[in-house]
Amino acid sequence: MKKKQEEQKGGAPEWMATYGDLVTLLMCFFVLLFAFSSIDAQKFQAVMQSFQGSAGVLESGKSLVDADLVFDAMPESETTDSNTEAESLESVKEQIEEYLESQDLIEEIEVSLETRGLVIRFKDNALFDSGKADLKEDSKKTLSFLADILKTEEFQNRSIKVEGHTDNVPIRTSRFPSNWELSTTRASNVVKFFINDSRISPSRLGASGYSEYHPIADNRTIEGRSRNRRVDIVILRSFFPSQEPIN
């Protein structure tokens, strides 16, 4: 009888084995969910936090974390929408680049995907003559091509921002007392073309002039000043409705 009692000393209660199996199965379940989904790092971290809380392994006996619920952190529908939007912008980027190549405009216009959206950059004198703000006749064909894309069902509700930029060489004319007026007028004239000639809704459009204060190159060189003289047309992503240009 003593021997039997000694054998029962030490070790964990029998129910702990079942509990351990349950925790292991839960872990496998969440790993499989992660493997079959396309969630990002933020959502995965939220999933792991929720798992840790429900398993009761947090310090001080806490069984729930203070963070938001998993599905509040990053709903699957939002992730899917974001992926669809990125694919759509990438497709348009390729379409525009094909057009530019066919029209031999690769050196004058460049297209890039940025955090805030798709940027179509008209370099130096691609749209305007030096010191002027009247659209060149041959540039209107390219703007009309872009307008046709912007009016498609896929982009009909997307906001568009037109941004004028100059170098740091002062301009003092009766029409443009400074680079502020020049950059703003250029952006406004592109917007007017989209409205009057291409029939794009004014509510989707915005014009901004930044003068010399958002350079992308060194204004101390001829090449740098040439790069800084530009007009950017930005097809904004849905979650960056008012994002300003980044230096």
The answer on 15 and 55 residing in a single domain is yes
Count: domains in the chain:
2
Q: Identify the pLDDT of residue 6.
A: 54
3-state helix, strand, coil in the chain (%, to 5): 45, 15, 40
Q: Identify the pLDDT of residue 64.
A: 44
DSSP string, 174-240: SS-SSHHHHHHHHHHHHHHHHHHTT---GGGEEEEE-TTSS-SS-TTSHHHHHHHSEEEEEEE-TT-
Q: List the domain range (segments joined by +) for residue 192.
A: 78-236
Domain harbouring 209, CATH code: 3.30.1330.60
Q: Identify the pLDDT of residue 28.
A: 81
Tens of pLDDT along the chain (247 residues) come to: 555 555 555 566 777 778 777 888 888 887 777 766 654 555 555 555 555 544 444 444 444 444 444 444 445 455 556 778 888 899 999 999 999 999 999 999 999 999 999 999 999 999 999 999 999 999 999 999 999 999 998 888 899 999 999 999 999 999 999 999 999 999 999 999 999 999 999 999 999 999 999 999 999 999 999 999 999 999 999 876 554 555 5
Residue 243 located in a structural domain: no
CA pair distance 51, 53, nearest whole angstrom: 5
The answer on 70 and 101 residing in a single domain is no
